[in-house]
């Protein structure tokens, strides 16, 4: 248990020393915009506005968080040291993904609190409604960023892939991606027959990308050292 605790503490310290603070800054700015939508030219302060803003911004936060998972080790070429430790790399990447999920949940909570403090009445059903529309897209892009950062052995590779995909989706509005369009709730496309179907596709793809990242880090030692 003590080894697990030390390993998780080390992972958290490493992750917090990177660009993760940028994700928290974005989270705070998002919460402020949700509570004061007129700052960005939106008149309505309601559940739809909250969901709209969070669906646009939370995937970017996920990209930063997950691309940062191994930023310090990859930048300093320290994976060789990681693989020298007397524990399985499977534990390391699962713990990093778990920490990323916790940090993403914290960012989500900050935004929800911003909406509540801004006067938007929110029930648990409303929070569930928002989460079902936010997390599939966020987890998909987070998983993509994690995998590409490992393949490219650089955090910037993951950031570039995630932000690039997000930007393409913003500009094409689902013309290329159809059923896996990130913003189906905002700009519905006919190819995705329902928002539930769209969310399930994104969750399944995100799970596949996470699985690929776990397999790569656990098995492809030669790629990193």
Residue 132 buriedness (CB in 10 A; 0-12 / 13-18 / 19+): middle
Between CA 180 and CA 182 the distance in angstroms is 6
Residues (pLDDT < 50) of the chain are none
Whose tokens are 């179907």? That residue is 197
Note the pLDDT of residue 2.
67
- List the structure tokens of 139: 């987890």
**Nearest to residue 24, comparing CAs of 70, 82, 86, 68?**
68
3-class DSSP state of 137: helix
Note the pLDDT of residue 78.
62
Give pLDDT tens digits for 120-153.
989 999 999 999 999 999 999 999 999 999 988 8
Decide: 207 and 221 in contact? Cβ < 8 Å.
no
């Amino acid at each position: 248990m003590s080894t697990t605790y030390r390993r998780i503490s080390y992972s958290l310290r490493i992750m917090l020393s990177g660009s993760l603070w940028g994700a928290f800054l974005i989270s705070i700015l998002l919460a402020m915009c949700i509570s004061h939508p007129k700052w960005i030219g939106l008149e309505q302060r309601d559940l739809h506005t909250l969901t709209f803003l969070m669906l646009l911004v939370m995937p970017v936060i996920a990209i930063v968080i997950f691309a940062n998972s191994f930023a310090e080790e990859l930048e300093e070429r320290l994976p060789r040291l990681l693989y020298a430790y007397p524990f399985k790399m499977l534990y390391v990447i699962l713990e990093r993904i778990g920490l990323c999920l916790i940090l993403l949940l914290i960012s989500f909570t900050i935004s929800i609190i911003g909406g509540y403090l801004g006067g938007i009445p929110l029930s648990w059903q409303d929070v569930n409604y928002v989460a079902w529309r936010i997390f599939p897209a966020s987890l998909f892009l987070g998983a993509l960023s994690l995998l590409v950062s490992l393949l490219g052995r650089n955090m910037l590779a993951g950031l570039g892939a995630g932000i690039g995909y997000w930007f393409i989706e913003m500009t094409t509005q689902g013309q290329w991606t159809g059923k896996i369009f990130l913003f189906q709730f905002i700009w519905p496309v006919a190819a995705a027959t329902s928002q539930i179907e769209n969310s399930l596709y994104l969750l399944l793809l995100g799970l596949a990308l996470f699985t690929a990242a776990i397999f790569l880090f656990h098995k492809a030692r030669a790629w990193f050292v």
